[in-house]
Amino acid sequence: MSIKVLIVEDHADSLEILTIQLQALGYEVIEATTGEEGVGKAQVYHPEIIVMDLGLPGIDGIEATQRLKNNPQTTHIPVIAYTAWPEDKVRSEGERAGMSDFLTKPTTAYRFKSTIEKCLKARAI
């Protein structure tokens, strides 16, 4: 059984690259392009982890994460911020929203894999 990863990313090129990277690592990928769509797909598909861009149209990644963490169906799902914004500017706000970790664009497939595994392991404890 493969691990389902929900990617919430509004830039088509970034979404495609990220999907290819994660599929090559053996993950099943579900895609969403807005915060609202990401929240909805998390409720329908029950991914094991979510990779969330912060600069999304409509509700941003912080608000989408808050909605996920306030919903009993999705509160347990780790959310990794994936953003071009400087980490120090968004880390405290993201942590308050419930984000588990932060990756700065671009990153390597190895860093993605190790971050996903770390978040899944922390969830299991």
User: In one letter, which amino acid is 26?
Assistant: G
State residue 74's pLDDT score.
Answer: 96
Residue 91: which domain range? 4-124
What are the pLDDT digits (tens) for 15-54? 999 999 999 999 999 999 999 999 999 999 999 999 999 9
Domain count of the fold of the chain: 1
Q: Is the pLDDT of residue 78 over 80?
A: yes
pLDDT-derived band at 93 (thresholds 50, 70, 90) equals: confident
Task: Flag whether pLDDT at 124 surpasses 80.
Answer: no
Report the CATH number that the domain containing residue 47 is assigned in CATH: 3.40.50.2300
Three-state SS annotation for the chain:
CCCEEEEECCCHHHHHHHHHHHHHCCCEEEEECCHHHHHHHHHHHCCCEEEECCCCCCCCHHHHHHHHHCCCCCCCCCEEEEECCCHHHHHHHHHHHCCCEEEECCCCHHHHHHHHHHHHHHHHC
Amino acid identity at 93: E
Task: Please indicate whether residue 71 or residue 2 has the higher confidence score (pLDDT).
Answer: 71
Q: Is the pLDDT of residue 89 over 80?
A: no
Residues whose CB falls within 8 Å of the CB of residue 89, separated by 6 or more in sequence, listed in order: none
Least confident of 62-71, 80-89, 97-106: 80-89
